[in-house]
A and B are shown apart, each in its own frame.
Chain A
């Protein structure tokens, strides 16, 4: 079982994967409670534009993905607050627009379809030492924000207006939350893939909600589900040569179905 850790690439993949599971499940709790679930999908597709640009221009795709995801997150917040448009319609427009741009850039570049495939579905082989450092640095900053402002973010998720009237800077925290989520999603696409990261953010929380417990316990259950799914999914990926994103997501879906059955009303 543990011989997989004899390989350096697996050590890197596990460090990156477990950290991403922590970030995705904690940020995912706030995203789900704020009814922003579709946002993670949209930002993941936006990050793909960054990956495509990075691959064509020869820069580190992860860095460009972080940048493009951030710009998309801010654009979303701007459109939502400045125009009378439906939130889900804005997400849908940015999602398809980003995918269209990414496909065109990939078609023009032509010769890196295999590299792109690993960003779409995740690959434990592709996590470099540089990626691990990037994930640890940006991930620590993101985790720090989430833990520092957890109480405010929870209040805002429950009742944004009452939070505002109690003196909490709601617009600033909402802006920072979508920025942090954009960074986390961009960091995650190496291991989980841009088409599947949304699932790792949303499903552990939805599964944890089935247990109908308080906020802290819900976060802890979601965190446990995410860590277990990433560990188990990456192990399956290693032994059966399957894309890691797909095995991780199937594992977390299995936990969701189990939670649903165990807590059936």
Chain B
């Protein structure tokens, strides 16, 4: 854990989440600070998405404490500081009447007032977000006609349009080809290093973690926090987390 006197973005202590008496998350404690680049890994059904949903205020924890920017999550109002790209983001409804610009503009909706049209600042923020994600030339295209990789970048541009301090992505590479995935990880690193945006994302792409990530949270009902990502990549760790399949996956990565 990095030594810091700053207020963490997320401060989680002893968090439990149960559904109908079944424990999904148990005694989770972690802190996330500004500027960090964190991956969450773990087996399917281990509670990764549930943890993210709790951080986003979409689920209420059964027990424990969650503070966002030092405030109890019930009292936190500045949700525009948190950008969210859900798992199915690139799997859009092809008939939905939305251009790329329509989608990215959604990122400004919560910032505009009741009577607010798009101000110059809103238009600039939308254009900047499209530029950063390299989708400005696609702005008049219908989002349903884009490739999986392009849609993925549009959804991140939407999240960036609200000028978030942290970007939370849930398995962002679902439905995206390998080339687009590599480009995507390069963009994430750039956002973290140049824009100083904190990145927290769920991934099964374990090979990527070794290269760029600062910390790894392994979630399988309980949390294990690895400050050195290479620790998380040991066969023992992976085997205990994923079982035999992970062992094979680890070897596969290093053979190529």
Contacts and interface: CB of A to CB of B under 8 A. Distances in A.
A214 interface: yes
B3 to A, nearest CB: 30
Contact of A165 (B84, B97, B142): B84
Nearest to A218: B97
Given A151-B112, A212-B142, A166 B97 contact: no
Contacts of A213: 97, 142
Given A158-B96, A214-B97, A166 B107 contact: yes
Interface stretch (B34-42, B75-83, B173-181, B239-247): B75-83
A168 B98 CA distance: 19
Contacts of A217: 97
A164 B106 contact: no
A148 B115 contact: yes
B29 to A, nearest CB: 23
Interface in B97-116: 97-99, 101-103, 105-107, 109-110, 112, 114-115
B57 interface: yes
Contacts of B80: 166-167
A63 interface: no
Nearest to B84: A165
Contacts of B8: none
A128 to B, nearest CB: 35
A213 B140 CA distance: 9
Given A151-B109, A168-B109, A162 B84 contact: yes
Given A33-B96, A167-B80, A212-B97, A162 B86 contact: yes
Contact of B79 (A152, A165, A215): A165
Nearest to B76: A167
A167 B79 contact: yes
Contacts of A151: 105-106, 109, 112
Nearest to A151: B109
A167 B97 contact: no
B172 to A, nearest CB: 13
B107 A158 contact: no
Interface in A69-113: none
Interface string A133-153: 000000000000000100110
A184 to B, nearest CB: 21
Interface centre among A158, A208, A212 (most CB of B within 10 A): A158
B95 A209 contact: yes
A154 interface: yes
A157 B254 CA distance: 44
A209 B97 contact: yes
Interface of B: 56-58, 77-80, 82, 84, 86, 95-99, 101-103, 105-107, 109-110, 112, 114-115, 140, 142, 144, 158, 162
Given A161-B58, A162-B84, A212-B142, 8 more contacts: A148-B115, A159-B86, A159-B106, A163-B109, A168-B109, A208-B97, A209-B97, A214-B102
21 contacts: A33-B97, A151-B112, A155-B106, A158-B96, A158-B106, A159-B86, A161-B86, A162-B84, A162-B158, A165-B56, A166-B107, A166-B110, A166-B162, A167-B77, A167-B79, A208-B97, A212-B142, A213-B142, A214-B98, A214-B101, A215-B97
